Structure 1
Amino acid sequence: MSKQTARKSKQLSPSVEPLSTVTSKESLSAVSSKEDEKPKIVVNEKEKKKQAFLVRTLWTIVMISGMFFIICAGHFWTICFVLLLQVLVFKELIGITSESAKNSDLKYTGYLNWYLLITTICYLEGKSLMTYLINYLIDHNYPTGLAVNILSHNKFISYLSYVLAFVGFVSSLKKGYLKFQFAQLCITHMILLLVIFQGHTIVNNILHGLIWFLLPVGLVITNDIFAYICGITFGKTQLISISPKKTVEGFVGAWVCTTFMSVILTYYLCNYNYFICPVNNYNDFSVNCLTGISCDPNPVFLRQIYKIPTDFVKFLGTEYIHIKPIYLHSMVLSMFASLIAPFGGFFASGLKRAFKIKDFGDTIPGHGGVTDRMDCQFLMGSFSYLYYETFISTHQLNIGTLLQTIVINLSGPDILILVKSLFGYLHTIDLITEEAYVTILGLL
């Protein structure tokens, strides 16, 4: 009886499966059926690129519109905007280079970087602040003794602040992290040199007149746009290995387009006093596009006569041309914006590759971080500043700078002697009467 039962069980065993096996098969079939029910997501690269292009274009319009709004608000807000951009670029660069400090026991490294940033900005922008603030205090009869002493010694105070940062750095050195800490110090100073120092030259460009800020910025933007358009249209030859998408055709095409655009931008900008007038005092510092500003224009904005070389006379049919020199200067700026400034972008590309990142941040949708948009602007700004100081600036003395020099460098009795001498000169050239002169001397 037991043998027959055993045979029956053997015969039945192949057809009987364990409960766990059945359950697992049923679960697998259920999962597979659910997966079949899910809609398959098909990635369309063409649609993805189209969407990215639309987002990039939209935010380009937003950025340009916002920049023009700030410029129309006045010189003060434009300078504040530039300072904000400097801080944001510094934040992004320090963020990617000091990531290891967050994972190490170096809690003071980040504070030291920001302290050095504030010290550098105070050192570089202190002179401009001193010029306009002292004039404001004098004209409004505010006590100026303490303010003059602080502002006139701005550089020394900033230097002492830097020395304090140096002492703090040495005190924070730790065994096992020395190489990293010294590398961080070098990186921070390099960022301050490439970003904050060159940003300072852009601030000076604004003070020289908004055209010296708008024209270089506009040329870099124009070059960037046309390099992209020419590159995707007929670009074939790779320009530089560090940026595979940059082509020779896009580079040359952008150069030609930027040169033509420099003439158009200059034509519109140089016809408005709001763009060509420099900031000479705190009253000019607070103007906007609605209040306007007036000045004696720099000679580069006035038509001048140029003699044409003999070889070109027969083609042009005239020996002389009347043209504003600013057009010739703008072409020089456009050449730098097209041929040299892009290497600031190549430098940024190399830096991103070194740290294996795609963008410096995600502040601007479709464009990455602020640094991705400003990589060429700082180099262009410093060149524009030096070009202006070398070939265009007239270094004219104005009442604001003269008054500042007197207040800072002369004592009270010396200023009184100067006033008496000035009244004596005015009496000599008959601008004030004998009676008024005697009365004034009596009051002094």
Structure 2
Amino acid sequence: KMPNSLQRPPPAILMLLLTYILVSKTGATGIIGLVLLLQVGMYNETTSIIEEYHYTINAEPRVSKLGEVVEKWWWFLTVLSGTSVKNILLGDTILKDLMVSEKLLDLITYGMGAVGLLVAVVGMASHVSAGPDMFRNYLGKVAASHFALLFLIGQSSFWIKTVQEYGILWIIYPALLVIINDTMAYVFGVLLGNHKLLPRLSPKKTVEGFVGAAFSTFAASIPLLKAMGGADLSNLKQHAVAMAVFTSIVAPFGGFLASAVKRAHGAKDFGTLIPGHGGVVDRFDCQIVTAPFVYLYLQQFL
């Protein structure tokens, strides 16, 4: 079997190449489409390991297999309508001219949520195994799924707002900083790692890897922003350092949270889509945490 260190680079390089081609050919529209695909993939992966844990490992009774599938994707569409879809509709000039009302979109989202609530409660109460244990198991699964919606869909929807209001640079630049940080954490961890950072969550992550990656991210932040066309920005160093601080110190904890979710549900990875990396969530856990920060920072300082 090929070592993980040799499995990881080819898929990562291929993803970067495909992303470059997509962005160069389609611009912001391609990024928005990619975000929507990522949201579907991440939500499906996360809910799948939750279901695997509850229904396969623990053999818990299901309220209704078909009903739970419909419910799962109904909640996904509900949250999507209030976040990503809303951002797309309100951020597009043509769609704005069609008089798409933000209040109407909010009302639709609330209505979808109300329908989901009614169906979920009635379905749970009418199940033949209705009782405290079944309620507890069902609500635990629902809570985990809703947390996935908040963490994955809620945060990643900021990518759409960012590319619409501030341009592609502020999608690609922070993403590259996260990639640099993640790569150098792995390199320093392999070469110098002796002290575990949070071993109960992620046994392979080390203090040396974390610190080495932070220094590497800081070192790359300013020249990378200049190289990507940010030389004309006022306060370039401030912007670069702010992004480096967040992507090297805060963003990695998105990975630790993802590790906690996997461990809680007895999963090694979120999926197998990307050889050597796992699933979509395994690759984008730190990126997701960065998305709202970038948008809120740009709102305040750019």
For the criterion TM > 0.5, the same-fold answer is yes
Q: Assess if the C-alpha contact under 8 Å between 2:251 and 2:290 holds in 1.
A: yes
Task: State the 4+ residue runs in structure 1 displaced beyond 6 angstroms.
Answer: none
Aligned to 2:181: 223
* Structure 1: distance between partners of 2:27 and 2:100: 29
* Structure 1: distance between partners of 2:38 and 2:100: 30
Q: Which letter maps to 1:204? A: K
Aligned to 1:343: 253
In structure 2, the CA distance between the partners of 1:134 and 1:265, relative to structure 1 (3 Å rule), is: closer
Q: Assess if the C-alpha contact under 8 Å between 1:341 and 1:379 holds in 2.
A: yes
Aligned to 1:90: 43
In structure 2, the CA distance between the partners of 1:130 and 1:48, relative to structure 1 (3 Å rule), is: closer
Q: Assess if the C-alpha contact under 8 Å between 2:90 and 2:100 holds in 1.
A: no
Q: Which letter maps to 1:220? A: V
Q: Which letter maps to 1:347? A: L
* Structure 1: distance between partners of 2:150 and 2:167: 24
Q: Which has the higher contact order (CA 8 A, sep 6+)?
A: 2
Report the Cα offset of residue 363 of structure 1.
Answer: 0.6
In structure 2, the CA distance between the partners of 1:344 and 1:137, relative to structure 1 (3 Å rule), is: closer
Aligned to 1:359: 269
Aligned to 2:109: 158
Aligned residues, how many? Answer: 287
Q: Assess if the C-alpha contact under 8 Å between 1:83 and 1:199 holds in 2.
A: no
Residue by residue over 1:310-349, the C-alpha shift from the partner in whole angstroms, topping out at 9 and shown as x without a partner, is: xxxxxxxxxxxxxx41222111111111111111111111
**Bigger fraction of residues in helix:** 2
* Structure 1: distance between partners of 2:167 and 2:73: 30
Q: Assess if the C-alpha contact under 8 Å between 1:86 and 1:195 holds in 2.
A: yes
Out of 131, 135, 145, the residue aligned to residue 188 of structure 1 is: 145
Aligned to 1:78: 31
The answer to whether structure 1 residue 63 and structure 2 residue 33 are counterparts is no
* Structure 2: distance between partners of 1:133 and 1:342: 33
Q: Secondary structure at the match of 2:157?
A: helix
The answer to whether structure 1 residue 334 and structure 2 residue 244 are counterparts is yes
Residue by residue over 1:123-142, the C-alpha shift from the partner in whole angstroms, topping out at 9 and shown as x without a partner, is: 1134433335563585xxxx
Residue by residue over 1:261-292, the C-alpha shift from the partner in whole angstroms, topping out at 9 and shown as x without a partner, is: 111220122259xxxxxxxxxxxxxxxxxxxx
Residue by residue over 1:243-277, the C-alpha shift from the partner in whole angstroms, topping out at 9 and shown as x without a partner, is: 121111111111111111111220122259xxxxx
* Structure 1: distance between partners of 2:300 and 2:249: 20
Identity of aligned residues (%): 32
Q: Which letter maps to 1:86? A: Q
Residue by residue over 1:377-416, the C-alpha shift from the partner in whole angstroms, topping out at 9 and shown as x without a partner, is: 1111111112112222xxxxxxxxxxxxxxxxxxxxxxxx
* Structure 2: distance between partners of 1:344 and 1:137: 35
Q: Specify every segment of 5 or more residues in structure 1 that has no aligned partner in the other structure, as ranges.
A: 1-46, 139-143, 273-300, 303-323, 393-444
The answer to whether structure 1 residue 204 and structure 2 residue 164 are counterparts is no
In structure 2, the CA distance between the partners of 1:211 and 1:149, relative to structure 1 (3 Å rule), is: closer
Q: Assess if the C-alpha contact under 8 Å between 2:272 and 2:278 holds in 1.
A: yes
* Structure 2: distance between partners of 1:265 and 1:75: 21
Q: Assess if the C-alpha contact under 8 Å between 2:27 and 2:168 holds in 1.
A: no
In structure 2, the CA distance between the partners of 1:167 and 1:367, relative to structure 1 (3 Å rule), is: same
Out of 118, 122, 125, the residue aligned to residue 77 of structure 2 is: 118
Aligned to 1:369: 279
CA RMSD, 1 decimal: 2.1
TM-score scaled by length of structure 2:
0.88
Q: Secondary structure at the match of 1:327?
A: helix
In structure 2, the CA distance between the partners of 1:156 and 1:61, relative to structure 1 (3 Å rule), is: same
Aligned to 1:413: none
Which protein shows a greater Rg? 1
* Structure 1: distance between partners of 2:147 and 2:101: 29
Q: Secondary structure at the match of 1:243?
A: coil
* Structure 1: distance between partners of 2:196 and 2:260: 16
TM-score scaled by length of structure 1:
0.61
* Structure 1: distance between partners of 2:89 and 2:253: 35
